Amino acid sequence: MKKFILFICATMLATALVSGQNLKVVTVSMSDLFDTYHKTEKFRERFSSLQQQAQSELNDKQADLQEQADQARALQEELQNPVLSDSAKSEKQAQLQQMVQGIQQQEQQVNQWRQQTMRDLQAQNNQKTQEFLGEIRDVVISVAKDEGADLVLDTSDGNGVPAVVFAAPELDITAKVEQLLNKDQPSAASAQ
């Protein structure tokens, strides 16, 4: 996708050069802006807390399963007692079978809960990422227009190779966008 965008940009640049138009190009690092955006930082803290809560709840559920498995093992050991009567053995065998079925059902429920929780957390993370990227993009466009730019290129290193191999530092508007993006960030003193 980045190669396609780079191709389109190169085509636009070539067309502008051939037609004699002055094309103003600016660059920005969307990944740097995303990483330094105050809303991203706050969300990451909140998201980390949600992940820890989910992990804690999962640990509790797994500990409960382990306790039930230990009880089943103890019951299994009781069945090995040669002193037990046949009726007591069959009663304990039925108890064990019921207990094992309950444990298996609970294991399935825990696995389903874990998978659903992971999906929910991932969806929330994706939704917030898209929301923040939209806000960042709006500010980038605003700054680019203020700069009189015709084209904005992202210098982020997405797949190990940035779409822009070289750009003069004076073309980079990342700092200006970052300043505008975080202008409404509460100060550290007022946040406490």
Extents of the domains making up the chain = 15-183
The mean pLDDT value of the chain amounts to: 84
Candidate CATH numbers 3.40.1110.10, 3.40.50.2300, 3.20.20.100, 3.30.910.20; the one for domain 15-183: 3.30.910.20
Q: What is the DSSP letter of 84?
A: S
Task: For 7-57, write each residue's pLDDT tens digit.
Answer: 555 555 555 544 546 788 888 888 889 999 999 999 999 999 999 999 999
CB neighbour list of residue 70: distance below 8 Å, 6 or more residues apart: none
Burial class (CB in 10 A: 0-12, 13-18, 19+), 19: exposed
Bridge partners of 28? 154
The pTM of this model reads 0.69
pLDDT of residue 192 exceeding 70? no
pLDDT of residue 14: 53
Task: For 44-84, write each residue's pLDDT tens digit.
Answer: 999 999 999 999 999 999 999 999 999 999 989 988 888 88
pLDDT of residue 160 exceeding 70? no
Confidence of residue 89 (pLDDT cuts 50, 70, 90): confident
